[in-house]
A and B are shown apart, each in its own frame.
Chain A
Amino acid sequence: MRHIISILMENESGALSRVAGLFSARGYNIESLTVAPTEDASLSRMTLVTTGSDEIIEQITKQLNKLIDVVKLIDISESSHIERELMMVKVRAVDRAREEIIRLTDIFRGKIIDVTPVSYVIEVTGEKSKLDAFLQTLDQEAIIEVVRSGTTGILRGDRGLHA
């Protein structure tokens, strides 16, 4: 099962390597990992997407909690939540394809954020599955480059993750 784990951790150098090292040392999967500072400068927030059986996920959350730099964590996929990923796609865009790409981008509520006579850069946000679907609709030959941020997420409702 796919799980999204949100982690609040001390904004210390090396904290990220402790989490990444834990996953490689214990053989856990990481599908994606994002990290950035929060409104509290002493804390970073990491969103980690992983897969595994219930037993493995239980071990992952316990082992993460053991790390001294980890202040709090929550498996947001166990509750009602919103997840988003940002993707930028650079595509070859010439002749009639230029119109078609704009239409597809509109359908997916994307934006064209860079234009040259022969290419576009398209920005799309959404759940992972939406981004996958968008990529599939494009002419595969036309894709020059894809950059994805990895999933990040937040709980619905008024409950927050705080130190």
Chain B
Amino acid sequence: MELSGAEILVQSLKDEGVEYIFGYPGGAVLHIYDALFRQDDVKHILVRHEQGATHAADGYARSTGKPGVVLVTSGPGATNAVTGIATAYMDSIPMVIITGQVPLPVIGSDAFQECDTIGITRPCVKHNFLVKDVHKLAETIKKAFYIATTGRPGPVVVDVPKDVTDPNLKIPYEYPRSVSIRSYNPQVKGHRWQIKKAVELLLSAKRPMIYSGGGVILGNASEQLKEITRILGFPITSTLMGLGAYPATDRQFLGMLGMHGTYEANMAMHECDVLFAVGARFDDRVTGKLSQFCPHAKIIHIDIDPASISKTVRVDVPIVGEVGPVLEDMIEILGSSEKRADEDALTAWWDQIARWQSLDCLRYDRNSPLIKPQYVIEQLYEVTNGDAFVTSDVGQHQMWTAQFYKFDKPRRWINSGGLGTMGFGLPAAIGAKLAHPDADVACVTGEASIQMCIQELATALQYRTPIKIVNLNNGYMGMVRQWQEFTYESRYSHSYLETIPDFVKLAEAYGHIGMHIEKPADVRPALEEAFKLKDRTVFMNFLTDPTENVYPMIEAGKAHHEMRLAPGVTIERELA
């Protein structure tokens, strides 16, 4: 089969099993777009801004586990994509981004729509390639997918100069069946001896704690995590990125930990004597003050990335490997072990945890005449039977969703945890809905975040991706306002949005349904109505209490046991 570079690129995507490609055309990728036009297998989703393309591909990837694929043009096409690439990089999301480039002979001459895409993206990709020869194109695409999806996943950019896709130059095509890269051999199995040591340490614990992260979801190791947690009978907490890997409704789950984690999860972290970190990376939003992080604990850490181990917190038993296979080995060793966990110590530990739980740290004012954002999320949870794919933007609404939507399954909770990218939620919801057309998909957002990628409402109409937008509109960049209240004596510097569009009209202008909700009593009926409209995108604008804050909170520089609790939530002496 003889194909041109453009055809090779499209055929490679087909051979890679790519279902959707999210993109936006431009001069440098016109040959590729022409090749896309002449086939039906790879479906192209035309976004309205390249940032939207990357987030939509990201939402597709997070909700399926398959790599997201993006196609953008050179120069501004590539630079607009950078925010989405960095977002995927920080959360280790497999993605392949094909960027057009000016023709090889003019690279470096400041040609029209030229930028150094390889240089610009280098710090925020797992790897990138500039394809200088059409004969290397298919192999490079294969390598890009291999690198993006194996080991610790991440985005890979393939920069393709226009002349490499020349429709008049046809060469024999064969997609490589496999690829090996001598300098890249990610480890799968953990070191057996380390695993044995870890099991011994776990069984010797008096106050154990499991701390699981996004790596469990990326590694599809939810079942193994559930099994080992059940066998051990230990309490478990999760990072923001790991929510759903372990069912939030299970009695062993203490809720999220970290800056806006629950009182019980953070206290258990502070008091535990053995910490079992599974696919989590000790992020600063999780650890709080490093010098007081888990001060009494011996730490076991499973991670596929050796560089994540002992990066910020020194660990005692490091295990490099994929979470799933390592947990399977641990389960096997546990099964054949004579030793059992210390039941008496565990009972005492659970009693202590129950006392912390009795604080009911997430409680809020249910009698307020204003809509409380927490209430909206609780109702969203009930109306969707806890089974929706929920994307979010970044800020207070993101934290409330993490706290109040009890995710029981992996890949349901889709948010930008590492980079914290406002504008992520709407395009990510479109990507998730394309992948799961029969599932409920909600985007929880705020009036500030939603305006950062609002143009993708047009994409949602064009491709009939009926998503439900839950806009918690309090007039403020809420999390900025909260920090200003706490640490800048309520000087609300530029965090209030004096002009906000009429979201109902805006939704209608884009061809969707808009709803405006001001009273607590109307929250549930609005959500029920919206989710009944199966084939329409609905924008629900909830006017919420502008003064509500996210609690508990570990303020900057504080440790896990120094949480700031909601007004009215006080610690009685016997709890502490």
Chain A residues with a Cβ under 8 A of chain B: 9-10, 13-14, 17-18, 21, 25, 55, 58-59, 62-63, 65-66, 68-72, 163
Contact = CB atoms under 8 A, between A and B. Distances in A.
A9 B183 contact: yes
Interface string B122-136: 110011001000000
Contacts of B205: none
Contacts of B123: 21, 25
A68 B122 contact: no
Interface residues of B, number: 18
A59 B310 CA distance: 8
A155 B118 CA distance: 35
Contact of B183 (A25, A62, A63, A70): A70
A72 B310 CA distance: 21
Nearest to B128: A14
A47 to B, nearest CB: 18
Contacts of B192: none
Chain B at the A interface: SS class: mixed
Nearest to A163: B182
Contact of A68 (B184, B306, B310, B314): B184
Given A9-B183, A68-B126, 8 more contacts: A14-B118, A14-B122, A59-B311, A62-B306, A68-B147, A68-B181, A69-B183, A71-B183
B307 interface: yes
B305 interface: yes
19 contacts: A9-B183, A10-B183, A14-B118, A17-B119, A17-B122, A18-B122, A21-B122, A21-B123, A55-B314, A58-B310, A59-B307, A62-B306, A66-B305, A68-B127, A68-B147, A68-B181, A69-B183, A71-B182, A72-B183
Nearest to B309: A62
Contacts of A65: 306-307
Contacts of A71: 182-183
A14 B86 CA distance: 19
A55 B307 CA distance: 11
B306 A14 contact: no
Contacts of B305: 66
Nearest to B147: A68
A55 B147 contact: no
Interface in B165-203: 181-184
Given A17-B119, A68-B127, A55 B310 contact: yes
